[in-house]
Amino acid sequence: MAKSELLLAVNQIATERNLPREVVVEVLKGALATVFRRMTETASTQAVEVEIDLENGQVRIFTRKTVVEEVRDPRTEISLEEARRIHPDVRVGETLRVDVTPANFAQRIAAQNVRQIILQRIREAEREHLYRYFSEQEGEIVHGVVQAVTPQGATVLLAQGRAEAILPRNQMVPGERLQPHQRIRAYLAEVRQTPRGPQIILSRTHKNMIRRLLETEVPEIYNGLVEIKAIAREPGQRTKVAVAATQPNIDPVGACIGQRGMRIQSLVHELGGEKIDVIEWHPDPAVFIAKALSPARVLTVHLFEEKRSERTAQVVVPDDQLSLAIGREGLNARLAARLTGWRIDIHSLTEALEQWLPRVEDPELRERMGEAARLIPAMQEALARHKAQPNLTWTAEELRDARTFLEAAYQAYMARREAERARRKAHKEARVEAPPAAEALEPAPAAAEELPEAAAEAAPSPEPEPVAVQAASASEPESVVLPEPAPDAREAIPEPAEALSVPEALPEPFGVPEPEPGEVETEIETEAVLGEDEDEEEEEERRRRKKAGKAKERRRVRYEVDFEDETWLRRMRGGRVRDWLEE
């Protein structure tokens, strides 16, 4: 082989396949090692090393042999005398690296089978190189040319035809029609390793495609001056993007839109006319939700957050803005909910006044509203006027007064609810610290055991009373079963309206549940328990009994007044048994 012929061949293959020259050299070494094993029938377990001098085209093969006194297998052993010619200090049992290059090996490797091995190894190396390259590009925007369009999707050529990617039909923008030889940009969603090479999956519906396109079109986002907080997208219809400036004196919305809307228009053109709304992010959820519902004008936003999974925002808009806030088929409200992470209930001003005006008839709420309570008559008149004339437009003064009224009513309602929670918490803590007085009056546990069994059988069974008989002492044996109340026991129990002073139930704002049961105390503990407070109360009660060294858990009967159904509910050990008394 000529002096630079091997070097020219390596460079040509590296250029054609777009592979590094080091990769081509390693592939060539592996192919030559395979050819040598076939020529000399060398075992696959024996190490074979190949050295290539690209300048002069010289190829040398080395193997490792064990030094022995008597050679039995020349492929793996070498005599001591021959070994000392290579290395004078070698001893029997040591391993020596020996040059075993066959004569005219450089000319003999030009055979057709050797060429096929080299080409196969190069194809494998090319596939591995493409997989590593596109794995690093995963999550980025790639450029390609549409090769073919089928009902299942489109085939796109990437990286100057080096790799084929798949754009599935469900990852294409609805209504988009791609044509062969059309240049497109897509989001590289996934790269899979297969025996036939890397399988590349593209997407044009992924919301992160909007993020990458904005980074490409808006230098402020790429440099970190403007940050993308959230993205909500309905492919082919509308996208909402929340942005915020990381430095003062920067308009994040203006930077994304560009001069005369040039930056945002390029994205709209790339996505086939999909509308993009850029919204300024705000740390206050109420303000952020109001901005997320743009282009609709929002009057008030009321937040109800019981748990993170049950966060609800009640939004009030003018009557003429209701359809715009909801959007076609609920699109605008749905995108706003995804963008903010809140469940959004949208109501017109007329609906909101119909819900809140009956509630503020409560004197306590009116007192908490302060000066805003003077707006109640005006709001009642305005509501009656607009209900009589549905097409009548709300004036600016009426909208301003309605906003003041709704905000004051909401603040008063939330303040009363927080006060009620604080009161229940204080009552619960006081009850835990001071043991109930009923425990001191409980009979000794041995009293029941001293009665003879015959006397117990002869004694008449008294009728169970509704409260006093159902409660047992803390030391009562576990095997004792409490009797169920007789059918006529209802007559012995006072009606809720006569025996108890039950506060009037607070109406729920727009269907949001409000846990505010009243508390009732009789001769033994009877109280209203609220969802999570009941579990906490039972856990504290259990810990207190364990600390006191009581082996048996005292049976307890509780009564709960449900204001919605106006029923008394019987509870035993914290679990609801049945509705046993109704008005």
Confidence category of residue 61, pLDDT binned at 50, 70, 90: confident
What's the mean pLDDT in 472-499? 40
Confidence category of residue 339, pLDDT binned at 50, 70, 90: very high
Confidence category of residue 228, pLDDT binned at 50, 70, 90: very high
Confidence category of residue 32, pLDDT binned at 50, 70, 90: confident
Q: What pTM was estimated for this model as a whole?
A: 0.60
What's the mean pLDDT in 428-448? 57
> In the block, which residue shows the tokens 């993009």?
276
Write down the pLDDT at residue 50: 82
- Residue 445 makes CB contacts below 8 A (sequence gap 6+) with 473, 475, 476, 477
Write down the pLDDT at residue 465: 40
Q: Give one DSSP letter per residue of 58-102, joined into a string.
A: EEEEEEEEEEESS-S-TTTEEEHHHHHHH-TT--TT-EEEEE-PP
Residue 300 has pLDDT above 90, yes or no: yes
Write down the pLDDT at residue 75: 74
Write down the pLDDT at residue 272: 84
What's the mean pLDDT in 13-22? 75
| Alpha carbons 458 and 452: distance in angstroms, whole number | 10
| Model confidence pLDDT, tens digit, residues 248-257 | 889 999 999 9
What's the mean pLDDT in 384-388? 89
Residue 332 has pLDDT above 90, yes or no: yes
- Residue 20 makes CB contacts below 8 A (sequence gap 6+) with 14, 129
Write down the pLDDT at residue 37: 79
Of the candidates 399, 411, 412, 409, the one whose C-alpha atom is nearest the C-alpha of residue 376 is 409
Write down the pLDDT at residue 6: 64
111-115, 185-189, 218-222: least confidently modelled range: 111-115
Instruction: Find the DSSP H helices in 391-451.
Output: 396-433, 445-450
Write down the pLDDT at residue 214: 92
Q: Using an 8 Å Cβ cutoff, are 171 and 184 in contact?
A: no
What's the mean pLDDT in 538-562? 58
Residue 488 has pLDDT above 50, yes or no: no
Burial of 109 (0-12, 13-18, 19+ CB in 10 A): buried
Q: Using an 8 Å Cβ cutoff, are 101 and 35 in contact?
A: no
Share of the chain above pLDDT 90, in %: 29
417: left (phi over 0), alpha (psi -120 to 50) or beta: alpha
What's the mean pLDDT in 154-165? 82
Write down the pLDDT at residue 362: 87
Residue 31 has pLDDT above 50, yes or no: yes
Distance of CA 186 to the CA centre of its chain: 24
What's the mean pLDDT in 525-548? 60
54-58, 256-260, 396-400: least confidently modelled range: 54-58
6-15, 29-38, 340-349, 430-439: least confidently modelled range: 430-439
Confidence category of residue 525, pLDDT binned at 50, 70, 90: very low
Write down the pLDDT at residue 107: 55
What's the mean pLDDT in 293-309? 85
| Model confidence pLDDT, tens digit, residues 171-208 | 998 888 889 999 999 999 999 888 888 899 999 999 99
Enumerate the β-bridge partners of residue 303: 313
- For the chain, the average pLDDT equals 75
Confidence category of residue 405, pLDDT binned at 50, 70, 90: very high
31-40, 115-124, 478-487: least confidently modelled range: 478-487
Confidence category of residue 115, pLDDT binned at 50, 70, 90: low
> In the block, which residue shows the tokens 């009789």?
522
| Alpha carbons 529 and 433: distance in angstroms, whole number | 18
Write down the pLDDT at residue 451: 37
Most confident stretch, 1-15, 26-40, 134-148, 536-550: 134-148
Confidence category of residue 519, pLDDT binned at 50, 70, 90: very low
Check residues 16 and 408 and name the one with the higher pLDDT: 408
| Residue 555 backbone phi and psi in degrees, to 5 | -75, 140
CB atoms within 10 A of CB 455: 8
Check residues 90 and 562 and name the one with the higher pLDDT: 90
Instruction: Find the DSSP H helices in 306-395.
Output: 322-326, 331-340, 349-356, 363-369, 376-388
